Amino acid sequence: MIHSVTSRANRRVKLAAALEKPSSCRKRNRFLMEGPKFVHDHLTRGGQIDFITVSEDASDESLMVAKIADSSGFVVIRVPAHIYTCISKTETPQGITAVCPTPEYSISDIFTGGTVLVLDRVADPGNAGTAIRSAAAFGCSGVVFLKGSAYPWSPKVTRSSAGLNSAIPICEKSNLTGIPEKFPGYCILGAQSNGISMDKMLSDLKIPVCIVTGSEAHGLSETSQSTMTGSVSIPMTRGVESLNAGVSASILLSVLFRKNS
């Protein structure tokens, strides 16, 4: 049964509204999944949900997803449009948001033999989300966010990853110290402009691979560079200095995916 809530002081409304801030997500170990497609996909994957909030002026698609969730036993609350705006800060809200427990994975859950993506000081949520989306699309076993990177389950990262930050193992780590010793089977490659061209490296590439990519502004940290087996670059037209982290990661992961297919 979908319950109607008309007060901003309702504990569920207050919780959902607070999760717009990454610091609140960390504190409460919860994150927001917004939009009918993302929420429905999360439900289909068997993802955990604390409750769902749906606006009274939600789209037909959002209302349908709310009914599916309700019939599956999830708590669904309906709120007036002016209260829903406290929860969703997007320019064109679609009227449905789920509050979900943040997935918990260890580094051992990620280095399981598949390709691993590491983001080193990638602070832009859009780039981080794009990288997650590509990691999921190209069959990575997980993504590691190093210190200085965006929060993996912030609303902006969730939106830019198309909600796939709940579909692939992700964990946060200060740095890569100890990773080569703990997972000696991995070839750790840093994405750098002066690295060996990916095309040339493919024939002798050791599998499995961990790709480390940094931001355009800061590149790879010294700690990350000290753990690397080698560095790899993407061939580009002269005059173009670099690609953003999301695009760079996507290209490299696509190449690895084709090699492994």
Q: Rounded to an integer, what distance in angstroms lies between the CA atom of residue 158 and that of residue 162?
A: 6
Concatenating the DSSP letter of every residue in 26-69 gives: HHHTEEEEESHHHHHHHHHTT---SEEEEETT--HHHHHHHHHH
Nearest to 135 by CA among 233, 224, 209: 209
Per-residue model confidence as pLDDT tens digits over 178-209: 999 999 999 999 999 888 888 777 667 878 99
pTM given for the model: 0.94
Sheet (strand 51-55) strand order:
3-4, 76-79, 51-55, 96-101, 30-34
Neighbours of 207 (CB within 10 A): 13
- For the chain, percent of residues with pLDDT exceeding 70: 99
Q: How far apart are CA 208 and CA 229, in angstroms?
A: 12
CATH 3.30.1330.30-classified regions of the chain = 3-101
With a CB cutoff of 8 Å and minimum separation 6, the contacts of 178 are none
Helix (H) or strand (E) holding 187: strand 187-197
Whole-number Å distance between alpha carbons of 102 and 32: 9
Among 179, 170, 136, which Cα is nearest to 150's? 170
DSSP 103: P
Which residue's entry shows tokens 């061939």?
Answer: 235
Please write the tens of the pLDDT for every residue from 148-185. Answer: 999 999 999 999 999 999 999 999 999 999 999 999 99
User: Rounded mean pLDDT of 234-251?
Assistant: 86
Decide which of 3.30.43.10, 3.40.190.10, 3.30.1330.30, 1.20.1440.230 is the CATH code for 3-101. Answer: 3.30.1330.30
Tokens 């840093």 correspond to what residue? 190
CA dihedral 170, 175, 176, 179 (to 10 degrees): -70
Nearest Cα neighbor of 68 from 49, 95, 40 is: 40
User: Phi, psi (5° rounding) for residue 123?
Assistant: -85, -20
Domain with CATH 3.40.1280.10 in the chain: 107-260
Overall size of the chain counted in residues: 261
Q: Say which CATH class 107-260 falls into.
A: alpha beta
Tens-digit pLDDT profile for residues 54-63: 999 999 999 9
Chain segment 87-104, per-residue pLDDT in tens: 997 888 899 999 999 999
Question: Taking a C-beta distance cutoff of 8 angstroms, is the pair 34, 159 a contact?
Answer: yes
At 4-34, the pLDDT tens digits run: 999 999 999 999 999 999 999 999 999 999 9
112-126, 165-179, 227-241, 246-260: least confident range: 227-241
